[in-house]
């Protein structure tokens, strides 16, 4: 059974347009589904209050109030800002069964979400998100 098709993105650019807007590292993760190495992202251990936006399009994705220390090497959140801020889709790549997290506005790859890992969060979910997919706007 194949996954249902995604709704069209609200922001749709060509690969060349994305390459002009993003660094090569950002493009590799956001537009090609790559993953940054664990522990190297700028937001892994950040506790600054604010809003996390999609680095590609600026859509609000997560808030610092939903961020928690999972010690997994990537920023972790237990819930997106709005239920429609992200799209979840099955990901069976690399011999694993996972759930990919995409920005609902531009369909950029953000990371994966995991359930039932035993973290003491209200949702029992860990949105494991690449720092390079995010931009933190600190609370004024």
What digits encode the pLDDT tens for the residues 107-132? 999 999 999 999 999 999 999 999 99
96 or 35, which is more confident: 35
CB atoms within 10 A of CB 127: 28
Burial 24-42 (b: 16+ CB within 10 A, else e): eebbbbbbeeebbeeeebe
pTM: 0.92
What domains does the chain contain, in order, with CATH numbers? Answer: 15-138 (2.170.150.20)
Burial 87-117 (b: 16+ CB within 10 A, else e): beeebeeeeeebebbbbbbbbbbbbbbbeee
- Indicate if 106 belongs to the active site: no
Active-site hit among 54, 57, 106, 128: 128
Give the pLDDT confidence of 71-92 residue by residue, as tens digits. Answer: 999 999 999 988 899 999 998 8
Give the pLDDT confidence of 6-35 residue by residue, as tens digits. Answer: 889 999 999 999 999 999 999 999 999 999
């Amino acid at each position: 059974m194949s996954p249902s098709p995604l709704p069209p993105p609200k922001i749709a650019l060509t690969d060349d347009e994305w390459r002009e807007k993003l660094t090569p590292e950002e493009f590799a993760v956001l537009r090609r589904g790559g993953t940054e190495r664990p522990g190297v992202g700028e937001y892994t251990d950040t506790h600054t209050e604010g809003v996390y936006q999609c680095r590609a399009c600026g859509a609000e994705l997560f808030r610092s109030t939903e961020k928690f220390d999972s010690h997994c090497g990537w920023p972790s959140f237990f819930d997106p800002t709005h239920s429609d801020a992200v799209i979840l889709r099955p990901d069976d790549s690399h011999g694993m069964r996972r759930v990919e997290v995409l920005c609902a506005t531009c369909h950029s790859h953000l990371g994966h979400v995991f359930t039932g890992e035993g973290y003491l969060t209200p949702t029992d979910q860990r949105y494991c998100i690449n720092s390079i997919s995010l931009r933190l706007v600190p609370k004024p």
